[in-house]
Amino acid sequence: MVHTGVDIPVKTGAPVIAAGSGRVNWAGYGLYRGLGDTTDPYGLAVVIRHGFGYQGQTLFTVYGHLSRIDVTVGQRVETGDQLGLSGATGNVTGPHLHFEVRIGRNSFSRSRNPELWLSPPQGWGVLAGRILDVSGRFLPREEVRIRSSDTGQRWVVISYGEGAANPDAYYRENLVIGDLPAGNYSIWLLKQTTEHLDLRIEPGKVSFFTFRQGYGFNIQPPPTPNAGFRPPEVEATPTTAP
């Protein structure tokens, strides 16, 4: 199953607030399948069209699986305004909030990883990576293991699956983890190599690495965009929704 956002664990009935100001673009069932479809995988959902964006493209945020909606289409909302209450409607295994970022259009195929758009908790950082085959193509569903050299805590992250998971225009990543305490880490791809990468996560920043079959690890960041940088048009064929 392709998953195009992040799931935030929360009990049913918790307030869901707007991540930024804008106007309500969608409110109700049917975000994926069509208006009024109560079997829609997003359940009760709200979408905000923000008054800001990126390189001329409009930014949308999605809030799914709500138990109640408190806004209507066209309504103006400000950062922190309540949109509704969390719940377990739609395709879920338990209560949580599905949060998603879309660029350009309110379309499933225009989703981006929201962990690159959210500020990490104070003192924490973000890790993004490219996992590539020998020809430089994305390796889907590749298991990456991360270990804190300072505390010994471990994480397992899976690279994006094939389908509607689109990379960011700058990072061109296929892996992100957005909740790592600042410090020193080691990274392994056990199915690909016995080698590992040591790097440091800086607070409030995105650390970046590349792994390519036959070439190993590289921590060279993407080139800094110049004034003429424009994000490429990325369209993916929708498969399954959250």
Confidence of residue 191 (pLDDT cuts 50, 70, 90): confident
Shared domain for 136 and 209, answered yes or no, is yes
Establish if 91 belongs to a structural domain: yes
Residues whose CB is less than 8 angstroms from the CB of residue 142 and which lie 6 or more positions away in sequence, other chains included: 131, 158, 159, 175, 189, 191, 192
Tens-place pLDDT, residues 1-54: 456 788 999 999 999 999 999 999 999 999 999 888 999 999 999 999 999 888
Tell me the C-alpha distance between 76 and 60, whole Å. Answer: 14
Q: Is there a domain that residue 89 lies in?
A: yes
- Identify the pLDDT of residue 163: 66
Domain end: 112, 132, 156, which one? 112
* 26 in a structural domain: yes
Are residue 94 and residue 21 in the same domain, yes or no?
A: yes
Contact predicate 240/3, CB 8 Å: no
Mean pLDDT score, 96-116: 92
Q: Is residue 61, in this structure, part of any structural domain at all? A: yes
Q: What pLDDT, on a 0 to 100 scale, did the predictor assign at position 190?
A: 83
Does 88 fall in a domain? yes
Please indicate, yes or no, whether residues 85 and 164 belong to a single structural domain of this protein.
no
Give the CA distances from residue 206 to residues 19, 133, 168, 173, 220, in Å, rounded to whole numbers and listed in that order: 20, 23, 13, 12, 13
Phi, psi for 199 (deg, rounded to 5): -150, 170
Tell me, yes or no, whether 24 lies in a domain. yes
Higher pLDDT, 5 or 200: 200
Query: What is the domain count for the chain?
Result: 2
Does one domain contain both 10 and 96?
yes
Q: For the chain, what percent of residues have pLDDT higher than 70?
A: 90
Paired tokens of 169: 């225009």
Per-residue pLDDT tens digits for 166-176: 898 889 999 99
Confidence tier at 159 by pLDDT (50, 70, 90): very high
What CATH number should be reported for the domain holding residue 166? 2.60.40.10
Position 223 in a domain: no
136 lies in the same domain as 172? yes
- What local confidence, expressed as pLDDT, does residue 231 receive? 45
Cite the beta strand spans of the chain per DSSP E. Answer: 6-9, 15-17, 22-28, 44-54, 57-69, 76-77, 82-86, 96-103, 111-112, 124-132, 143-148, 154-158, 175-181, 183-188, 196-201, 206-212, 216-218
Structure tokens at 72: 């209507």
Q: Quick one: residue 27, left, alpha or beta (phi over 0 = left, psi -120 to 50 = alpha)?
A: beta
Indicate whether 22 and 96 sit together in one domain.
Answer: yes
| pLDDT mean across residues, the chain | 89
Indicate if the alpha-carbon torsion angle 77, 78, 82, 87 is positive or negative: positive
84 contacts 71 by C-beta, under 8 angstroms:
yes
Asked whether residue 135 is domain-assigned, the answer is yes
- Domain holding 138, by residue range, is 124-218
97 and 161 co-located in one domain: no
On whether both 44 and 129 belong to a single domain, the answer is no
Q: At 198, phi and psi to the nearest 5?
A: -100, 130
Tokens of 155: 């994480």
Residues 54, 131, single domain; the answer is no
Shared domain check, 134 and 103: no
